[in-house]
Amino acid sequence: MRRLGGRGLLLGLAAAAAAVVAARWMGWWSGRAGLRLFVPEELARYRGGPGDPGLYLALLGRVYDVSSGRRHYEPGAHYSGFAAFSEFIQAVLSPVLHSALRPSNIHRKRLLRWSSVGDLRVRVLENLSPAGRDASRAFVTGDRSEAGLVDDVSDLSFSEALALQNWLAFYEKNYEFVGRVIGRFYGEDGLPTPELMQVEAMASRGAEVGRRALQEKQKFPPCNAEWSSSRGSRLWCSPDSGGVSRDWAGVPRKLYKPGAKEPHCVCVRTTGPPSDQTSGLPALTNRGDLDHPNLGEYPGCPPLAITCPFPL
């Protein structure tokens, strides 16, 4: 669970929130002519049941008509508890979003089975429908109990806030926007509340964190690893280890990350200038990133070996 800390982080969030406020008053978020505003009790009538006026759901206060995806949302539908889950896996899932799904928050007593989608194994729960309400929190926690289908996202992490923005983009693209819910994210004037602006700021921060993580993975791709009961373990590098295609293989090193309890194995470039060297300057060394201060060698493994075996 996220805990804000550090003056720089707070200043960054404040700056992002200030930008959102400016956008609001410049008219980027001004209410549309004839925009429909719902109160929660009114939205609750749109659950797709017999006699209901429609099938709507809300995400971050924005209401969508999901009638065209009725099989995902109506009462009793297979995916009714996690709106258009199969569509989402194909259209939205990213490494950042994958990390945002928090199995620890799932009510395990409600688990029914594992479901496989490609290489991803997903816990499918006994379903309650998000239709007729704003269940923003469930889109990142996976908790589809009555207690989990709520709009409180105040304690989400940066990546989880970004996940909600990805979901929002999915609904904007695939379903008709019909209005806003008065409450946590929009006021009676139909304009964003400070809580929505905080989510926007957190999502922006999440996108930046994701970009930095991708840059680090390009710089220090993960090692290949295997273990055998007869031969022990082995770490090695290749030009595509860690899923990062490149024109070098590198050598295994321990990468110590601030805040991490244990180092993990990465492949390190051994020639050329350091990655952190300013572009255009003459190379001071030809050792790649071997001298990076957060790296350590594996005991018993030659410094320039591509493979590090650890026999039993």
pLDDT in tens, 215-260: 999 999 999 999 988 889 999 999 999 999 999 999 999 999 998 9
CB 101 within 8 A of CB 90: no
265 with 125, same domain: the answer is no
**H or E element that contains 21:** helix 7-25
Q: What is the pLDDT of residue 43?
A: 96
The torsion angles phi and psi of 72, rounded to 5 degrees, stand at -90, -25
Query: Which of 159-163, 223-227, 253-257, 276-280 shows the lowest mean pLDDT across its residues?
Result: 276-280
Reference 185, options 303, 37, 55; nearest CA is 37
Where residue 14 sits, what CATH number does that domain have?
Answer: 3.10.120.10
Domain assignment present for 2: no
CB 113 within 8 A of CB 38: no
pLDDT tens digit string along 124-138? 444 577 899 999 999
**H or E element that contains 209:** helix 194-219
User: What is the number of domains present in the chain?
Assistant: 2
pLDDT at 118 over 60: no
CB 100 within 8 A of CB 160: yes
> What is the pLDDT confidence band of residue 53, given thresholds at 50, 70 and 90?
very high
Q: What is the pLDDT of residue 127?
A: 57
Of 169, 184, 215, which closes a domain?
215
Provide the Cα torsion 8, 10, 13, 15; round to 10°: -70
The torsion angles phi and psi of 42, rounded to 5 degrees, stand at -70, -45
pLDDT tens digit string along 206-227? 999 999 999 999 999 999 999 9
pLDDT at 22 over 80: no
Domain assignment present for 274: yes
115 with 242, same domain: the answer is no
> What is the pLDDT confidence band of residue 71, given thresholds at 50, 70 and 90?
confident
* C-alpha distances in Å from residue 173, one per residue of 69, 88, 135, 163, 176: 13, 12, 19, 16, 8
Residue 213 in 3-state DSSP?
helix
Of residues 110 and 268, more confidence is placed in: 268
Of 215, 234, 258, which closes a domain?
215
What residue numbers bound the domain in which 176 lies? 7-215
Of 185, 215, 245, which closes a domain?
215
Provide the Cα torsion 176, 180, 185, 191; round to 10°: 110
Count CA within 13 A, CB hemisphere, residue 215.
8
CB 4 within 8 A of CB 13: yes
170 with 44, same domain: the answer is yes
